[in-house]
Amino acid sequence: MDYLPLFFDLKQRPVLMVGGGDIALRKARLLTRAGAHITVVAHAVLPELQQMLDMHHGQVLIGEYHPELIDGKVLVLAATDDDGLNERVHYDAVACNVPVNVVDNPKLCTFVFPAIVDRSPIVIGISSGGQSPVLARLLRAKLETWIPTGYSRLGQLVGRLRDKVKARFDTVNERRVFWESVLQGQVAERVFAGQEAEAEALLEEQIKIGNASHQVGEVYLVGAGPGDPELLTFKALRLMQQADVVLYDRLVSPDVLDLCRRDADLIFVGKQRDNHAVPQEGINQLLIDHALMGKRVVRLKGGDPFIFGRGGEELAELKKAGIPFQVVPGITAASACSSYAGIPLTHRDYAQSVKFVTGQLKNRTTELNYAELIQPNQTIVFYMGLHTLDLLCAGLVAHGKPADTPAAIVSRGTSRDQQVLVGTLATLAQQQAEAQLPAPALVIVGEVVELQSQLSWFGEERSPVST
């Protein structure tokens, strides 16, 4: 171990910084966040640094550095481009037994600044000992995505009630078991969801009864996006990796499903046309039953749960049963698949509005409000319209939409086998009859489809047939 990781309490403590340029400014930002009172000595100081010091009880000394400035300081930094001056600061600080950092010169440092993930009171420092700061920053970026900002609020809540837990449980082991349950349960999720008052009330109740484990579970309705796992949200990934049970549908890609917790129970509840693995009523009951057993349940849906995903129906049943739940939006297929196909849904030269429409209604009819759909300067996106494509195209034309209106099918959008078929309302059904692009697929109708040939960037394109 090249350096022992330590955390300094710098609140209202004096720190000396030699140098007043950009490097000094970057370090000053960190030090002021930690509450330090900084004295800067330099021949010139950036205005932004001067302003920062004025706001945080610091001071600027314009002039030469001299060793007496180290007296009484708890840390010293040298941030100049004068190698000789930096060495003098180092040797003077070492002689006074004061920790010193010479920026970008590990050999002259008795301490180094780590890359920091700040979720105060939780703080994580990552250091390469000055050997590879870029690698440390890359690791920090990964941790930033894995650790919700809500951990800061959770840490503060735990700190407020720590003494009560200590008084309630006699042994260290009892307290450890209690906190492990709290920090992986509903209290933590309430904090992450911004429900801090509810989280604190629940934690108070669990302290009172002396047990955090016997409780109703929770359901997380998670949008899995259109298939590309990199389109998942951070929150979706976090909940998928802590769920005890995952109920997933047919539109959830294998790549996304692989990101769930390895030991979670995976239950397929997918639906295909005229082939439902589990009826909707059965899915609702599965969610309730597993939650009543105290489990954390992820209901993983392709796209977004609230756009033709029956998310509202499932939540209504959970509400009736008194099951707590959260909703994590996903990138809906219309947005993602059109983007990957190179078709902007809106464009000021072509379309000022967009409509999402299901091509198959609850009673398996296609009685749509065509008068509303044929408005000019509008993009229409049909979900689940592949099996009724001929009816949809004919209906739009019959109600006044020009037959030469551009239209496209995006099959398996965002996946490695994505295909795009481009045509018009007059030709698209016949093109699909010949090409047989597989579901899931979206149908996009509107002038914006003309841009596909210019903006296409992903997957395989099928050219329009000649007319």
- The whole-number mean pLDDT for each consecutive block of 10 residues of the chain, a chain of 467 residues, reads 88 97 94 96 96 95 96 96 96 97 93 92 90 90 88 94 93 88 87 92 90 76 94 93 93 93 92 68 95 93 93 94 94 95 96 91 66 94 93 94 97 93 97 95 97 87 44
Distances (CA, A) of 406 to 254, 277, 426: 33, 36, 9
Q: Does 22 belong to an annotated binding site?
A: yes
Which residue type is seen at 457?
W
The answer to whether the annotation marks 291 as part of a ligand binding site is: no
Token look-up 């939780």 returns 122
Q: Looking at the domain that runs over 218-328, which CATH code has it been given?
A: 3.40.1010.10
Give the number of C-alpha atoms closer than 13 A to the C-alpha of residue 345, restricted to the C-beta side: 18
Domain definitions of the chain by residue range: 14-113, 150-209, 218-328, 334-462
Q: Tell me whether residue 303 is annotated as binding.
A: yes
* Residues 185, 104: Cα–Cα separation, whole Å: 43
- Reference 98, options 3, 27, 42, 17; nearest CA is 17
Strand residue runs (E) in 200-349:
218-223, 245-248, 265-268, 271-272, 275-276, 296-301, 325-328
Q: What is the pLDDT of residue 373?
A: 94
The b/e string for 66-86 (b: 16+ C-beta within 10 A; e otherwise) is: eeebbeebebbbbbbeeeebb
* Cβ neighbours of 376 (radius 10 Å): 11
> Is the Cα torsion angle 21, 5, 151, 300 positive or negative in sign?
positive
| CA-closest candidate to residue 303, choices 387, 384, 219, 393 | 384
Short-list 153, 141, 150, CA closest to 117: 141
Q: Is 14-113 a domain of CATH 3.40.50.720?
A: yes
- Report, as residue numbers or ranges, the catalytic residues: 249, 271
Strands 419-424 and 406-411 come out as: antiparallel
**CATH of 334-462 given 3.30.950.10, 3.40.50.170, 3.40.50.620, 3.40.630.10:** 3.30.950.10
